[in-house]
Chain A
Amino acid sequence: MKSKSKPTLSVDRSYFNRPVFIAQLVSLLLIWFLVIGIALWIKNLISLSLDFKDAPGVSIAISIVAVPIFFTLASVLTYVFIGLHKEEKKRFDNSGEMEQ
């Protein structure tokens, strides 16, 4: 079986495209905003339940489970983002051409 074929088109492939990178960064920041927003919302609900003495233990227990999940998801995305771009930038700096 043939090994995977690489297309050889002459399309401009400047991987490190500044505007695109900024757009990606912005989208990642938006995701962090969402996650922090969710954490703030849950914190709001906890303080409400403390005010009303409405079984605050439940709210706190749920927040201990739920909020770390969102933070982990955002962190994984950030880890992938940084990991992929670090490697890519290094390669782009090393040689301006494409290589295997």
Chain B
Amino acid sequence: METNYKNDIDAPLYKPIYETGKGFYVSVTILLAIVIWSAYMFFTQVAYGLGVTGMNQPVSWGFYIVNFVFFIGISHAGTLISAILRLSKAEWRRPITRMAEVITAIVLAIGGIHPIIDLGRPDRVLNVFTAGRLQSPLLWDVTSITAYFTASTVYLYLPMIPDIAKLRDKGGKLVWFYNFLSWGWHGSEKQRKTLNRAINILMVMVIPIAISVHTVISYIFSMTLQPGWHSTIFGPYFVVGAIFSGIAALLIVMIALRKVYHLENYLKEIHFKYLGTLLLIMSLLWFYFTFSEYLTGVFGNEPHEMDIIMYKFTGPYALFFWGMLVCNFIIPVVILSFKKFKKIPGILIASITVVIGMWLERLNIVVPSLANPRMNLPVGFYVPSLVEWSLFLGGIALFILGYILFSKFFPLISIWEIEEGREGVHEIKERIHSYMPDKNSD
């Protein structure tokens, strides 16, 4: 391809688009195989019925709902980093925003499919449109996830326009495609103003939408009468958990991409240090909410609630419950509190354990309340089947696949924002001066 991106100061950011190594083809093949396998498993479920899963009465919700909440939770990575950091003018967000926004877009799509996978009659999903009830928390979910998906896609797309224009100008591959998407951008003052205004509107809009998404997902549980679910803390608890798992997932993605695409110059120690601090704060916040939740339950000693709490503390789910506490609180706090451990390998371990721990938290919310029905009915059990494991793996594979494919067409780090940061040092200095008290003129 005749393009001289190599002379560009940001050449490493263009490299994945213009050069494709063997690793790409190998990973895409493997991931595609996993996705096709899980599609086949889903097909068997549609053909035979939900009986192929491990769900039963009373545990009528299992992996699909757990993964639904889990994937949508991870989508909060984009909003926190992109919108909140942009809003607070934190300059260190510049190399991170695009990666975060891409996570959100892909993971929302995957998470949004999960309730459909969970349906007994997915062929009737259009009944939601013809006969739906907006009174049902599930429909609140449909509305808010659609709103968030649309908003975050627009919020991903708009800041991509200047970069797409750069790719169009490089004149390598797919010029017509970049021309189509760049909407005639060429960086003039008026265009910049328009775009910045639009991004500002979006960045303020996207934050309440994102908070509403996970709050509304928590309402699916908290609007029922079931012990362990009917808790007023669920709204904020889920949002905090989502941001927590979102940051951890973002860190994993950043570390992986930094290794694979040699972005060491762009994703430096300091970015990980700052995000690591945020992860630590979220871990403490998450623990605060969890502690409140269980202290309230244990202190009240209401019999049905205690059944569920003991099921988690000492019963069949003890491993998952205490494992969750270790993964979400003990390991991250230990690693992230000490400078010695708070390097990239340590942060990677902390992030992986947080992602696992947050998945366990979703499991601990969904299954124990269902497995302990009232009225002295026998305690239920849940063993996920091959179909459910395959679809779980398929969801993860689809996410990684989507990400890799994105990196082939668009830069993973916002090139124009890096340029803006490089060139805007003077303005930033002025801004910081304006925070300090004014000097006396004489």
> Could you tell me which A residues sit within 8 Å of B by CB distance?
1-5, 7, 9, 11, 13, 15-17, 20-21, 23-24, 38, 41-42, 44-46, 48-49, 54-55, 58-59, 62-63, 66, 69-70, 72-73, 76-77, 79-81, 83-85, 87-89, 91
Q: A69-B205, A76-B202 are in contact. Are A17 and B179 (CB under 8 A)?
A: yes
Minimum CB distance partner of A28 in chain B: B183
11 A-B residue pairs with Cβ-Cβ distance under 8 Å, sorted by A, are A7-B3, A15-B179, A17-B179, A44-B130, A45-B139, A48-B131, A54-B133, A69-B147, A77-B154, A84-B185, A88-B186
Residue on B nearest A2 in the bound complex, by CB: B9
State A84–B190 Cα separation when bound (angstroms).
8
Name the CB-closest residue of A to B187: A100
Contact at B134–A63, with CB atoms within 8 Å?
yes
Q: Which of B140, B171, B180, B197 contacts A11 (CB 8 A)?
A: B171
With A15-B184, A20-B179, A23-B180 in contact, is A84–B2 under 8 Å at CB? no
Complexed CA–CA distance, A79 and B319 (Å): 54
B134 touching A62, Cβ below 8 Å:
yes
Assess whether B292 is interfacial by the CB under 8 Å rule.
Answer: no
Can you list, as one digit per residue, whether each of B139-182 has a CB less than 8 Å from chain A (1) or not (0)?
11001101100110010001001000000111100011001100
Report the Cα distance A7→B154, complex, angstroms.
29
Known: A15-B184, A66-B147. A5 touches B202 (CB 8 A): no
Give the docked Cα–Cα distance between A77 and B153 (Å): 11
Residues of B within 8 A of A87 (CB): 184, 188, 190-191, 194
> Are A80 and B190 in touch, CB under 8 angstroms?
no
Residues of B contacting A76 in the complex (Cβ-Cβ under 8 angstroms): 154, 158, 198, 201-202
Q: Top 8 nearest A-B pairs by Cβ distance? A: A83-B194, A11-B171, A88-B184, A59-B134, A87-B190, A80-B198, A84-B183, A66-B143
Tell whether, in the assembled complex, residue B130 and residue A24 are in contact, meaning their CB atoms are under 8 Å apart: no
In the complex, what residues of A have CB within 8 A of residue B278's CB? Answer: none
Asked if A85 meets B184 with Cβ closer than 8 Å, knowing A4-B9, A9-B4, the reply is: yes
Residue of A nearest to B143 (CB): A66
Contact between A79 and B179, CB atoms less than 8 A apart? no
Question: How many contacts A-B (CB < 8 Å)?
Answer: 126
Q: Are A20 and B176 in contact (CB under 8 A)?
A: yes
Instruction: Establish whether residues A70 and B134, one from each chain, have CB atoms under 8 Å apart when the complex forms.
Output: no
What CA separation (Å) do A56 and B168 show in the bound complex? 50
CB pair B143 A81 closer than 8 Å:
no
Task: Write the residues of chain B forming the contact surface with A, with a CB cutoff of 8 angstroms.
Answer: 2-5, 7-9, 129-135, 139-140, 143-144, 146-147, 150-151, 154, 158, 161, 168-171, 175-176, 179-180, 183-186, 188, 190-191, 194-195, 197-198, 201-202, 205, 209, 419, 422-423
Determine whether the beta carbon of A7 is less than 8 Å from that of B169.
yes
Contact B150 A73 (CB under 8 A): yes
A interface SS class: helix
- Once A58-B134, A76-B154 are accepted as A-B contacts, the answer to whether A84 and B205 lie under 8 Å apart by CB is no
**Which of A11, A41, A42, A79 interacts with B175 by CB under 8 Å?**
A11
Q: Which residues of A contact B185 (CB under 8 A)?
A: 84, 88
Residues of B within 8 A of A1 (CB): 422
A76-B198, A84-B185 known; A5+B154 contact, CB < 8 A? no
Given A7-B170, A83-B190, A87-B188, A72-B205 contact (CB < 8 Å)? yes
A41, B7: Cα distance in complex, Å: 52
**B188 near A91: Cβ-Cβ < 8 Å:** yes
In the bound complex, do residue B180 and residue A24 qualify as a contact, i.e. CB atoms below 8 Å apart?
A: yes
Interface centre among B143, B191, B195 (most CB of A within 10 A): B143
Which of A2, A84, A88 has the most chain B CB within a 10 Å cutoff? A84
Contact B133 A45 (CB under 8 A): yes
- In angstroms, how far is the closest chain A Cβ from the Cβ of B219? 12
Apart from A7-B3, A9-B170, what are 13 other A-B pairs with CB-CB below 8 Å?
A1-B422, A2-B9, A7-B5, A21-B184, A38-B146, A41-B129, A45-B132, A45-B134, A63-B134, A66-B147, A72-B205, A73-B202, A87-B190
Shortest CB-to-CB span from B198 to chain A, Å, is: 5
> Across the interface, do B143 and A80 meet the contact criterion of CB distance under 8 Å?
no
Asked if B134 and A49 sit within 8 Å, CB to CB, the answer is yes
User: Do residues A15 and B8 form an inter-chain contact, with CB atoms below 8 A?
Assistant: no
CA distance A97 to B310 in the complex (A): 75
What's the least CB distance linking B158 to chain A, in Å? 6
Q: Which residues does chain B contribute within 8 Å of A85, judged by CB atoms?
A: 183-184
Chain A residues with CB below 8 A from B146, complex form: 38
Chain A residues near B176 (CB, 8 Å)? Answer: 20
